[in-house]
Amino acid sequence: MRLRPLILLILLLGPPPAAAVEELPDMGDSAGSLVSPEQEFRVGEAFLRDLRAHQQVVDDPESEAYINALGHRLSSFAEGQTNPFTFFVVDSPVINAFAVPGGFIGVHAGLILQTQNESELASVLAHEISHITQRHAARTFEAASRLSLPSAVAMLGAIALGVVAPQAGQAAIAAVAAGQQQYALNFTRANEEEADRIGMQLLVQSGFNPEAMADFFERLQTANRYNDPASVPEFLRTHPVTSNRIAEARARADRYPKRRYQESIAFYLARARLHVLTARNPRDVVRLYEDNLRNGQYQVAEATRYGHALALAAAGEHDQARRELERLSKAAPDEAAYLLALAGLDVDDEQYPRALQTYRKVLQLYPDYRPAVLGLARALLSAGRGGEALQTLRDYTREHDLDPRGYRLLAEAEGQAGNPIESHLAQADYYYANGELPLAIQQVKIVQQQQNNATYYQRERAQAHQEEWQKELEEQEKEKKKQPP
């Protein structure tokens, strides 16, 4: 991946206006005098768009809803964050997680699949949330600003690369200068210690098992103790785990009363779903789950059966998948995961009335639940009921923002409802959110050319988008020419 998003935005933003600066006297540093929360958010937002452009984000509303629900449960106890948090799953088998300026936190699919319970996953998220609330990214910018401008840009670019390709990022840092590299790594170790300490507090306040942090670190360290360094998980490279660090996590956990923790089934269902979504061959997953069920090799039987059903559906075995899901849903009639899977099967099998009934049942149980809203809109569109799909999405957007999938459905709904101009505008938003600037610009140009069909307000919206996005595209192209192949 190119270093474009972070380097480019740092160069474009320049020194923040004095009025936009957030003062953080309790932090003991001057990070707040260099990078404003608004600038951090723009960096993180651009970074996420770039990940989407490279198809590195899991495009699944249920996986996204789960990781955001867990993340927001933890971040509700965090202090010092101005921007809202955004959590997303990276489509990678690598065991890693990272925090990006502005409250954006990515968790690799490989890490979720490696964790054994929700408390372990929560411990990683709490750690990354603490990186954000302590503004470690802003401190890194401060450290880089003390170097010469070319060195500062090189270091920040290396950090951007290290977010999704840690090994390459370390190599890039090494290319800056040996002394500067050591400074950056020492700075990172201090950040890690602070994130562990504050992350533990978030973990406990949110009702999770404080021992999970040390458990996860220890299991990763033990499993990779004798491995070749090149095969060590990226989490251990970007979050170095030592015996002292594990001991400190254990000591912190021991300060809290021992009690029995009930792990949520939502974690096990989400992990099973992600396992199927990221598998190359669903039939291999079907066989794996069948073997596990036969031999009793599972943590939660319901989650294993759910994964089996999803794998059957992905392999085209809809009837068998439906029978498995119906058994699960009969035992837990209010479980959204089972209902949504059944509704999805009905849409694929063109059983639209039954699918619509199921989606509406989910929304009665869980109002405004994004996966159900988007599923309902998709079912309505598939049934040729574009006007109802459009109303469903418009009702939702009164209080919620859309993601790329939502914009794509909105564009289709506007088209089916006979609103081609609004369809182009929604399609432009879809392309922009996915980091496809040329295609986004193309859509708003189409709107501006519709002198007789587009309203003045629609043409003005399109013009404003074009000016903003064209400038961004030109700056990106300019930056690409500066970068080595």
Residue 44 lies in a domain: yes
Where in the sequence is the domain holding 49, given as residue range(s)?
A: 4-254
- Predicted local confidence at residue 13, as pLDDT: 31
Active site residue 196: yes
Reported as a pLDDT band with limits 50, 70 and 90, residue 387 is: very high
Catalytic residue among 60, 64, 118, 128: 128
The residue among 57 and 5 whose pLDDT is bigger is 57
Average pLDDT over the chain, rounded to an integer: 82
Angle at 456 between CA 408 and CA 381, to 5 degrees: 25
Annotated catalytic, 128? yes
- Is residue 54 included in any domain, yes or no? yes
User: In the chain, how many domains are there?
Assistant: 1
CB atoms inside a 10 Å sphere around CB 314: 17
3-class DSSP assignment, residue 86 = strand
Say if 459 falls within a structural domain. Answer: no
Is residue 123 a part of any domain in this protein? yes
Q: What DSSP letter does each residue of 364-375 carry, written as one string?
A: HHSTT-HHHHHH
Question: Considering the domain boundaries, does residue 39 fall inside one?
Answer: yes
Q: What is the model's pLDDT at position 221?
A: 74
Q: By 3-state DSSP, what share of the chain in percent is helix, strand and coil, each rounded to 5?
A: 70, 5, 25
Alpha-helical runs (H) found in 315-366: 318-331, 336-348, 352-365
Given pLDDT bands bounded at 50, 70 and 90, which one contains residue 358? Answer: very high
Q: Residue 256 is which amino acid?
A: Y
3-state secondary structure of 76: coil
pLDDT band at 43 (very low <50, low <70, confident <90, very high): confident
- How confident is the model over 256-277, as pLDDT tens digits? 988 888 888 999 999 999 999 9
Asked whether residue 328 carries a pLDDT value surpassing 70, the answer given is: yes
Domain for residue 12, yes or no? Answer: yes
Q: Is residue 13 part of a domain?
A: yes
Percent of the chain scoring above 70 in pLDDT: 76
CA 33 to CA 142: how far, in whole Å?
A: 9
pLDDT score, position 6? 40
| 37 Cα distance to chain centroid | 19
Edge-to-edge strand ranges of the sheet holding 97-100: 86-90, 104-108, 97-100
> Can you spell out the DSSP letters for 182-235?
HHHHHHHHHHHHHHHHHHHHHHHHTT--TTHHHHHHHHHHHHTTTS-GGGS-HH
pLDDT tens digits, residue range 181-221?
A: 444 444 467 788 888 899 999 999 999 999 999 998 888 77
In a domain, residue 165? The reply is yes
| 104 and 86 Cβ atoms separated by less than 8 Å | yes
